[in-house]
Structure formats: C-alpha cells, structure tokens
C-alpha cells in the first residue's frame, strides 16, 4: 500500500516537501492501526480470555458471535437504527448548515451554538430527559424512541462538518449558475453540494458511527432491546471476553470490504474526482 | 449596522425541521434538567423547588470546579495533539489519488469502529508495565524499570487522541479540499517558498476546517469518561466522571443536572468565543 | 460540470432507494417492538433481570429455568450491566407506574435509598412461607437477602508469600507498583483503610486519606469493575487487590494462581435484597418465585456456584464452605458490620474527599 501511495503521490504536482508529509502521516496511521492489529490477532484466540499473543489460535469466538442470536439481533438493531438515522441526520443537518450560512450574520453564532449544543450535554443527563419523555409517550424500548434520540446527537456533527465546508465554498460559482438561469435549488444541487461533498461525507460517516456507537442514551431508552454497544457492555462489565474482539474485527472487516467495493465501483468517497 | 433583508431571514426556514425535533428531544429534556438543577436532594429524596444548593455546592466544594478546569486542560491538550497529528494526514489525503485517500480515510476512521473497552485492553498490552514498549526498552537496556505509560494523563491523552483523530481529520480534509489549488500554484509561480505558501495561503484558507475539527474534538473530549477510567486507572478525573458518579452511585439527579448545565454553559461560551476569534481572524 | 451532474444524480437515486428502504424497514419492524413491549400483562408472564457471564448462566440454569418449567411461567430477561440494578432508571419507571422488572435485586445502600423514596412493595413472612428457614437478619421488609458475597483480599499465590493475613500488606514496599484498589466500591475501600489502621471502619477522615496517600505511589490502578480487575491479574499488572470471593473462585477454576484471604482486621459480607418494586406487573408470580428460590434446592445450587446462602437447611461440603467463606462460624466472626445508612448519607462527602485525594 505504501508503494501505491508513493506512486500516487509521484503523479501529483506538489508544493510541499512531500516525503516528510508521507513519513509523518505514515507514523500517525501506524499509531492508529497498531492497537487494532493487536485486537485482531487477539480475536483469533481459543482461550476464554484475552491475552497476547494468544496461547492457541482458532476461530472459536467468530463462530460464537456469528451463530449467537443475541449478537445477531444486536447487530441488526444497531444497523437498522444507524441506517435510518444517517440519511435523516444528513438532510436535517445540512439544511441547518445552509440556513445558518446563508441567513443573516446577526445572531448566527448564538443560533449555531444552540443548534450544536445537544452534542455538548453529557449523554447521561440527556438520556434521563429523553427517557422521561419516552415514558410519557410509552414509546421507550422502540425505534420511535431510539431514532429521534440518536438524531438529536448526530445532527450537530453534520452541522459542524457541512458548515465548515460551506464556509470555504466560494459562492461565486453558485451565483454564476444562477445567472445562467438555474433556479436556486438546482444551483445548490448541481454546484454547491458536489463541491462540499467531503463535508457531507464526513457528516454522514460521523452520524453513522455516533449512532452505531451510542451507548448511554440507548441504555436509558432500552429494556429488552439491545444494540451492539449495549450487548458489548453487558458482556464487558462481567468479563473482557474475546467475543468482543471478534465483533470489533468483524465490524472492521465489513467496513474494509465495503470500502473495496466502493473503490471498484468507482464511487470514490471523498469526492476525489469532483475536486480535481 | 447590517441591514437584515428578507431573503436572508427566509434562510432560517431551513432550521425549522430540526428545531421541531429539538423541541421534543432536547429543549424539553433541557427544561427538566433546569428544574432538576434547582431541586433539593436531601437524605436521598429529591424535592422540586427553587433551591440553589447544587450550584452552591459546585462552586464552593473546592473540587468540582477544579475538576472542571482539569477537564478543560485535558481537552485542550487532546485537541492540540489531534490538530498536530491530524493536519498532515488531512494534507496528505488532499494530495493523494482517490483510492489512496479512501484507504487513509478507512484507517483514520477504523478506531471508531471498535469497542472502546477492547481498544483499551489492546493499549494495556502495548503500554502496560509488562507491555510491548516497556519489554522492548528493557531488553534493549535503555531503561531498567518499566516506564509509567498508562494509568496516568499520558495514557488517557494517547487513547483519546487515537480515537478522536478522525473528528479532526475529516473536517480538515473537507475544508482543505474545497480550497482551489490554483491559489497555491499561483503563489508558487510567483516564487513563494512552500512554507510561506502554507502559512499564508493554505493555513488561513483551511481555518474553518481547523475550527470545526477543534470544536468537535474539544467538545467530545469534554465528555470522555470511560477512557480515563481504564487508561487513567481512575486517577485522571473528568467532570463527566463526577456526573456519572452522582447519577450511578448516588442517584443524585439534582447535582448531576447542575454539573451538566455548568458544562453546557461553559462550552457554549467557548463556542461563541471561538467563532468570534474565527470571524476576527477572517476579517 | 456535466460529469458532476451525472455523478450526483446517481448518488441521489441511491439515497432515495436507501431512504425508502429505511422507511419500509421502520414500518415493518415497529409492530414487532410494540408487540414485545405489551406481551407482559399476562399472569403467566414475568420480566426479570439477569446477569451476564457465568452468574447469568447460573441464574438461567438453576434459578429461572426450573421455575419456569415447574410453574409453567414464561420469563423475559433484561440483562443487567454489571451487578447493580440501574436504580437511576428504575426509580423513574416506578414513579411512572411501569417498572421494567417484577423482581428488583438491591444492594444494601440501594435498599435504604428505595425505602426513603418508597419504591418497594412490602413483603411479609406469611406471604413467603420459605422465610422460616432463613436466618432472621436475612429477611427484610422488602424480601430476602440472597447471594452472600465476601469482600476480602485476592492475591497471586506465586508472587505473594506467605499468605497475607492483614490488609496492611497492600502498603508493603515489596509489592509497591503491583497492587490496585477498588474505585467501583470506594466505600469499601475507605472502610478497609480504616480497618487496617484504625481498627474500626469509621469515621472516614483526613487520617484515612493520609494512609491512602502513603499507598498512592505503589498503586497501579483504581479499577472500576470486576472485569477490569480480572484483566489486571491476567496481564500481570498486579499481584494483589481487595476483591470479592466469587470472582476469585471462578478465576481459580480457570487456572489462575489466585487465592482469597479474609484479613484479621476484618472483612465484609454483603448481599442483595430481592424485592418487588411498586407497580410491578406481576407481583403474585414474583412472590411465588421468591418463595421458591429461597428453598433448599435453589440455595444449595448457589452454594455450589460459590456464593453463600442464609438458608439454615443448606449443607456445605468442605470445599464449598471454604469458597463461600460465610459457612465457617469462626471466619464469620471476623466480618465487619457495615452501617449502610452512614455509607449512603456520606457518599457525597466521601466522594468529594476521594476525588480531592486523587487529583492531588
């Protein structure tokens, strides 16, 4: 991969001492991946606890995780929530980001601070507040509670990432399109959105992951339903089992496979083609 | 004074759907919280009313405020490290081809895809007393006693930076990639040195990305509580840990609510200040 | 520009498909959730907490399974996170008239909290005939005390020799950098320090923290859950920590060189009150279960698992007696009487002192 990276780099006209950049970034990326490599190795243990290096290797924990109904249900629920939450959060958050960026400058900061404040409130207290409302409506332990709750904490991430992209976006392009007769909506649709797509994608990734990882609020709202983080937690509070490492490794593997598929389909995340 | 024209005001209609959601899922809980924070918690029983007990306790017990400032300090440190480590990665992402970019993105996001506890267990194996780094250093004869690499602030910062780096890199990359290359190339063609191009063109133009990334990482770091428990061996205390303790072990919602509101207000002020700085730098 | 247009329209179509898919999934899945939520109003149906890991398996196999079969009852299980019932959540549920469980296990401090907030239904001896076989102090106004666990000193038998008899060994310079204390149950940690140096568990004061400061440089970690401590032993980070007996029994069975000691200054015995929350959906069945589980059969199973019982009829084999600790009257004499009202009422100030100690 390093070679590929270099060859890609070589084709690019750089203004920056790129070797230093590549070396430094590689170190950072190594720092990011080292614990995960250990985790993956650990997940292939045959023992009932985590240790490194594992005394014996095997796929015992993968078998357990894949065939366990608990893990299946938890994965299904977590994915369902995240798949519903991500597009909704992206749309709602992007609307807010546009509203803030294009609206009057006066009061913008305050409104922005308010709109992203759900991110700030410690989840445990937000969890209780939401739980009391869910109790009133008798909807706790269902998607009707999980989805709005997750949306509340994911939308701020979209507002921040899309907002940042919008700020660097040069509106003259959009104005040019409008001067050529495009309506406001289509000008945004065809000009602005593609250019800010890295921001949109970052927002979508964050929404998905935040929802997929959310623990405390879901803990309050759930009774019998268990999301993946809840399942992991109840397991982990009792014992650090290798099954958790297997689940993590599986999540990583699935993400990596999706990435490769995306790559082969040419639908490159990060809007590379657009920017070039 | 800027004239507010209707066209601009009408943009605020875009906030309506989210505002509706927030009324139910955020503002009402917030009011509950506010009421709670003025309630009295005495002998395990909560009495709703207008009492200032909780705020008084927070401000005068000599520890909550201290922990709050410690949390701010810790978060600033984490944010700084994320920026220093993340900026070059975001630069690299901008410069490489789409495929390499996708791989880097995957690597950056990957820590988020694993459970926090398992990740920390892996860190113990690397940083622990008989972990890899210490083993290696001892076998090389560089040190004679294991270094304390975790169960302290260092371990906490390291583990938090590890997972929150993506929250810095992605907004940075988004901002960097919206910058028109021709600006930098124009500067270069005029003979500017790479460093001065970076400082005078790239860096200022990527400021919104820096602010966005720093805001995200800072706010997220202000909320950490599980990592200090494991990586800090509970020695590093953050405000969310105090809130957790009040809720989990003492069921003292009034005090927890007051602490949460303190956190909310403080961070709100910081957001407003940081966006003012950003505006000031821009102009 | 044209390229952008094409690219974008493919994305948008996909998004639409995704959105529609998600909406359909919501519609299809929702009834399932509602059905599940409402299934519990029937008299042959209970909602119970269960633990994870070995203890959870034990409950399923010996305390829930046979009961379901015998009484033709169906149970739904809510998995607990750790060993404490989430009272922060259940309190709101009880007040809203819909506690999620029919039987609520409470730790001793939680019992006092529940009493002050009137969260539990009162239970009398006549409602639970089996109570006649229980030692008196283990049957409360809310129900029986079950699962007697001991809090003593766990140590690595290969690295700590001879076997410790005093809490003070934690302060021994020889083991500095290899011991840990418990943050999760800091009230017991504080009482332990007092026992070691003052001979009585109270009061928790500046002197207590002075001794904690002495041990501070030698501490590896303040662990939060049993899983954390287990991992510390497994990774060879520590050789000794205050711990509870059941986990040590389990780790010994798994081959770790560990042993559990009850120091001479005293150790702690705790148990949970199993009661019925107010507004529970099925209190009749809950009473039935309490009565059944207090019986000799299920209690004997618990002893075999490694935790003590207050049932007078249960007999112990020598190994069982050693593992459950409380079966030996000589050892029980060393158990310290804890004042849980004091613990609950002082938890805020102890926490403040504790946090101050940690951050200096």
- B98 and C CB contact within 8 Å: no
Report the gap between the CA of C65 and the closest CA in chain A (Å).
Answer: 18
pLDDT at C4: 40
Taking alpha carbons only, the member of B33, B34, B31, B54 closest to residue B42 is B54
Contact between residue B164 and residue B217 where contact means Cβ atoms under 8 Å apart: yes
pLDDT at A30: 93
Residue range C168-211, pLDDT digits in tens: 999 999 999 899 999 988 999 999 999 999 989 999 999 999 99
- B82 and A CB contact within 8 Å: no
Contact between residue B51 and residue A148 where contact means Cβ atoms under 8 Å apart: no
pLDDT at A90: 94
Of the ranges A39-43, C83-87, C97-101, C274-278, the best mean pLDDT one:
C274-278
CB contact under 8 A, B97 and A262: no
Residue range B30-42, pLDDT digits in tens: 998 899 999 999 8
CATH topology for C40-148+270-324?
Answer: D-Maltodextrin-Binding Protein; domain 2 (3.40.190)
Taking alpha carbons only, the member of A211, A106, A215, A218 closest to residue A156 is A211
Mean pLDDT of C266-292: 94
State yes or no: pLDDT of A9 exceeds 50. Answer: no
pLDDT at C210: 95
A157, A164, A233: residue with CB nearest B174: A164
Task: Report the alpha-carbon distance of residue C12 to residue C324 in Å, rounded.
Answer: 64
Any bridge partners for residue A70, and if so which?
Answer: none
- B245 and C CB contact within 8 Å: yes
Taking alpha carbons only, the member of B66, B248, B229, B88 closest to residue B160 is B229
Architecture (CATH level 2) of domain C150-266+338-358: 3-Layer(aba) Sandwich (3.40)
CB contact under 8 A, C82 and A237: yes
State the chains in contact with B (3 or more Cβ–Cβ pairs under 8 Å).
Answer: A, C
Share of chain B above pLDDT 90, in %: 31
Taking alpha carbons only, the member of A140, A153, B229, A62 closest to residue C82 is B229
**Residue with more model confidence, B115 or B77:** B77
Rounded to the nearest angstrom, the gap between the alpha carbon of residue A151 and the centroid of all alpha carbons in its chain is 13
Task: Report the alpha-carbon distance of residue A61 to residue C140 in Å, rounded.
Answer: 43
pLDDT at C6: 39
CB contact under 8 A, A83 and C22: yes
CB contact under 8 A, C88 and B255: no
Q: Do strands C240-244 and C143-156 pair parallel, antiparallel, or not at all (unpaired)? A: antiparallel
**Two tokens at C57?**
């398996």
DSSP tag of B206: T
Q: Residue C340 class from Cβ within 10 Å (0-12 exposed, 13-18 middle, 19+ buried)?
A: middle
CATH of B62-282, one of 3.90.170.10, 1.10.10.10, 1.10.3720.10, 1.10.150.110: 1.10.3720.10
Contact between residue A218 and residue A227 where contact means Cβ atoms under 8 Å apart: yes
Inter-chain contacts counted by CB atoms under 8 A, chains A and C:
114
How far lies C215's CA from each of B63, B232, C151, C230, in Å? 22, 17, 20, 21
Q: Which of A125-134, B149-158, C142-151 has the lowest mean pLDDT?
A: A125-134
Per-residue confidence at C23, pLDDT binned at 50, 70, 90?
Answer: low
Residue of C nearest to B232 (CA): C221
CB contact under 8 A, A245 and B177: no
Buried/exposed A17-53: b ≥16 CB within 10 Å, e otherwise:
ebeebbebbbebbeebbebbebbbbbbbbebebbbbe
State the chains in contact with C (3 or more Cβ–Cβ pairs under 8 Å).
Answer: A, B
State yes or no: pLDDT of B212 exceeds 50. Answer: yes
- C7 and A CB contact within 8 Å: yes
Residue B141, by phi and psi: left (phi above 0), alpha (psi -120 to 50) or beta?
left
Taking alpha carbons only, the member of A110, A236, C122 closest to residue B117 is A236
pLDDT at C19: 55
CATH of A70-242, one of 2.60.40.3500, 2.40.50.140, 1.10.3130.10, 1.10.3720.10: 1.10.3720.10
Taking alpha carbons only, the member of C53, C312, B84 closest to residue A239 is C53
Q: Residue B77 class from Cβ within 10 Å (0-12 exposed, 13-18 middle, 19+ buried)?
A: middle
Per-residue confidence at B207, pLDDT binned at 50, 70, 90?
Answer: confident
Mean pLDDT of A139-158: 90
Inter-chain contacts counted by CB atoms under 8 A, chains B and C:
75
Residues in C closer than 8 angstroms to B248, CB to CB, are: 84, 88
Task: Report the alpha-carbon distance of residue C29 to residue C16 in Å, rounded.
Answer: 20
State yes or no: pLDDT of B2 exceeds 50. Answer: no
Mean pLDDT estimate for chain B? 86
Report the gap between the CA of A266 and the closest CA in chain B (Å).
Answer: 9
B171, B198, B244: residue with CB nearest A16: B198
- Predicted ipTM? 0.84
pLDDT at C293: 95
C87, C113, C359: residue with CB nearest B66: C359
Of the ranges A216-225, C25-34, C105-114, the best mean pLDDT one:
C105-114
- Residue C160 dihedral angles phi and psi, to the nearest 5°: -115, 105
**Two tokens at A94?**
């992007």
Task: Report the alpha-carbon distance of residue A28 to residue A24 in Å, rounded.
Answer: 6
C29, C34, C234: residue with CB nearest A51: C234
SS3 B114: coil
Where exactly are the structural domains of chain C? 40-148+270-324, 150-266+338-358
Residue of C nearest to A266 (CA): C7
**Residue with more model confidence, C89 or A14:** C89
How far lies A52's CA from each of A59, A241, B129, B146, in Å? 16, 13, 14, 18
Residues in A closer than 8 angstroms to C230, CB to CB, are: 49, 239-240
pTM for the full model?
0.85
Residue range C316-330, pLDDT digits in tens: 999 888 888 888 888
Task: Report the alpha-carbon distance of residue C51 to residue C64 in Å, rounded.
Answer: 12
Report the gap between the CA of A203 and the closest CA in chain B (Å).
Answer: 9
Residues in B closer than 8 angstroms to C120, CB to CB, are: none
Contact between residue B95 and residue B101 where contact means Cβ atoms under 8 Å apart: no
Contact between residue A222 and residue A142 where contact means Cβ atoms under 8 Å apart: no
Residues in A closer than 8 angstroms to C77, CB to CB, are: 224
**Two tokens at B216?**
């995200």
SS3 C335: strand
Per-residue confidence at A262, pLDDT binned at 50, 70, 90?
Answer: low
**Residue with more model confidence, A93 or B95:** A93
pLDDT at A259: 72
Residues in C closer than 8 angstroms to A233, CB to CB, are: 81
How far lies C82's CA from each of B122, C63, C308, in Å? 22, 18, 19
CB contact under 8 A, B174 and A100: no
- A123 and B CB contact within 8 Å: yes
- B30 and A CB contact within 8 Å: yes
Residue range B50-86, pLDDT digits in tens: 999 999 999 998 899 999 999 999 999 999 999 999 9
State yes or no: pLDDT of C303 exceeds 80. Answer: yes
- B170 and A CB contact within 8 Å: yes
Task: Report the alpha-carbon distance of residue C118 to residue B276 in Å, rounded.
Answer: 51
Q: Residue B280 class from Cβ within 10 Å (0-12 exposed, 13-18 middle, 19+ buried)?
A: exposed
Other CB atoms within a 10 A radius of the CB of residue A7 amount to 12
Q: What is the DSSP string of C241-277?
A: EEEEHHHHHHHHHTT--EEEE--TT-BEEEEEEEE-B
Where exactly are the structural domains of chain B? 62-282
């Amino acid at each position: 991969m390093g070679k590929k990276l270099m060859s890609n780099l070589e084709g690019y006209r750089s203004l920056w001492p790129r070797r230093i950049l590549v070396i430094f970034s590689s170190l950072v990326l190594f720092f990011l991946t080292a614990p995960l490599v250990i985790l993956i190795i650990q997940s292939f243990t045959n023992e009932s606890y985590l240790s490194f290096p594992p005394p014996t290797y095997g796929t015992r924990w993968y078998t357990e995780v894949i065939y366990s109904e608990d893990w299946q249900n938890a994965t299904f629920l977590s994915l369902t929530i995240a798949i519903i939450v991500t597009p909704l959060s992206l749309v709602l958050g992007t609307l807010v980001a546009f509203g803030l960026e294009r609206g009057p400058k006066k009061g913008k900061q305050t409104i922005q601070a308010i709109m992203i404040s759900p991110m700030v409130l410690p989840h445990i207290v937000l969890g209780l507040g939401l739980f009391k409302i869910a109790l009133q409506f008798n909807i706790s332990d269902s998607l009707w509670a999980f989805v709005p709750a997750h949306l509340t904490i994911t939308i701020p991430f979209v507002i921040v990432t899309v907002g940042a992209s919008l700020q660097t976006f040069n509106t003259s392009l959009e104005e040019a399109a409008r001067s050529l007769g495009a309506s406001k909506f289509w000008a945004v649709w065809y000009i602005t959105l593609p250019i800010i797509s890295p921001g949109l994608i970052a927002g979508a990734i964050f929404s998905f992951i935040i929802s997929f990882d959310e623990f405390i609020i879901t803990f309050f709202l759930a009774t019998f339903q268990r999301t993946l983080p809840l399942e992991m937690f109840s397991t982990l509070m009792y014992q650090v089992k290798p099954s958790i490492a297997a689940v993590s490794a599986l999540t990583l593997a699935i993400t990596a496979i999706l990435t490769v598929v995306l790559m082969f389909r040419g639908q490159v995340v990060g809007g590379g083609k657009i920017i070039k | 004074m800027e004239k507010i024209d209707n066209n601009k005001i009408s943009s605020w209609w875009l906030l309506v759907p989210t505002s509706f959601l927030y009324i139910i899922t955020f503002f009402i809980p917030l009011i509950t919280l506010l009421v709670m924070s003025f309630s009295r918690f005495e002998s395990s029983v909560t009495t709703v009313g207008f009492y200032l007990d909780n705020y008084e306790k927070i401000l005068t017990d000599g520890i909550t405020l201290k922990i709050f400032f410690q949390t701010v300090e810790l978060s600033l440190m984490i944010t700084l490290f994320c920026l220093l480590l993340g900026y070059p990665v975001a630069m690299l992402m901008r410069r490489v081809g789409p495929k390499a970019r996708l791989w880097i993105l995957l690597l950056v996001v990957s820590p988020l895809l694993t459970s926090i506890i398992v990740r920390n267990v892996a860190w113990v194996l690397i940083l622990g007393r008989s972990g890899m780094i210490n083993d290696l250093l001892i076998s090389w004869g560089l040190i004679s006693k294991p270094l304390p690499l975790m169960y302290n602030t260092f371990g906490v910062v390291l583990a938090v930076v590890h997972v929150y780096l993506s929250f810095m890199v992605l907004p940075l990359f988004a901002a960097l990639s919206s910058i028109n290359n021709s600006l930098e190339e124009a500067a270069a063609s005029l003979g500017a040195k790479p460093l001065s191009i970076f400082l005078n063109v790239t860096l200022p133009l990527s400021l919104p990305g820096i602010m966005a990334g720093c805001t995200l990482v800072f706010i997220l770091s202000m909320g950490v509580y599980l990592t200090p428990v494991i990586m800090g061996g509970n020695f590093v205390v953050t405000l969310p840990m105090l809130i957790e303790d009040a809720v989990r072990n003492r069921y003292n919602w009034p005090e927890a609510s007051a602490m949460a509101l303190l956190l909310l207000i403080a961070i709100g002020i910081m957001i407003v200040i940081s966006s003012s700085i950003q505006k000031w730098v821009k102009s | 520009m044209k390229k952008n247009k094409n690219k974008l329209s493919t994305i948008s179509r996909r998004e639409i498909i995704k959105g529609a898919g998600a909406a359909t999934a919501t519609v299809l899945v929702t009834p399932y959730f509602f059905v599940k939520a409402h299934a519990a109003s029937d008299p042959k149906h209970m909602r119970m907490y269960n633990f994870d890991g070995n203890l959870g398996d034990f409950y399923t196999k010996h305390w829930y399974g046979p009961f379901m079969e015998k009484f033709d009852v169906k149970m739904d299980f809510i998995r607990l996170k750790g060993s404490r019932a989430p009272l922060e959540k259940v309190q709101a549920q009880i007040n809203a008239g819909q506690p999620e469980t029919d039987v609520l296990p409470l730790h001793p401090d939680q019992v006092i909290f529940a009493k002050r907030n009137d969260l539990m239904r009162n239970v009398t001896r006549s409602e639970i005939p089996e109570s006649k076989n229980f030692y008196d102090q283990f049957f409360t106004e809310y129900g029986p005390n079950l699962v007697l666990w001991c809090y003593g000193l766990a140590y690595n038998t290969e690295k700590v020799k001879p076997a410790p008899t005093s809490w003070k060994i934690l302060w021994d310079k020889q083991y500095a950098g290899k011991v840990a204390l418990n943050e999760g149950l800091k009230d017991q940690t504080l009482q332990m320090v007092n026992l070691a140096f003052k001979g009585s568990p109270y009061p928790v004061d500046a002197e207590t923290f002075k001794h904690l400061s002495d041990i501070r440089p030698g501490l590896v970690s303040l662990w939060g859950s049993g899983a954390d401590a287990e991992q510390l032993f497994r990774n060879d980070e520590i050789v000794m920590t205050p711990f509870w007996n059941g986990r040590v029994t389990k780790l010994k069975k798994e081959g770790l060189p560990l042993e559990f000691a009850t120091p001479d200054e005293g150790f702690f015995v705790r148990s949970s009150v199993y009661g019925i929350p107010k507004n529970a959906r099925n209190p009749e069945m809950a009473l039935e279960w309490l009565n059944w589980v207090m019986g000799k059969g299920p209690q004997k199973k618990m002893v075999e698992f490694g935790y003590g019982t207050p049932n007078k009829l249960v007999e112990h084999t020598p190994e069982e007696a050693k593992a459950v600790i409380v079966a030996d009257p000589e050892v029980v004499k060393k158990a310290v009487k804890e004042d849980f009202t004091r613990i609950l009422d002082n938890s805020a100030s102890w926490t403040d002192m504790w946090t101050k100690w940690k951050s200096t």
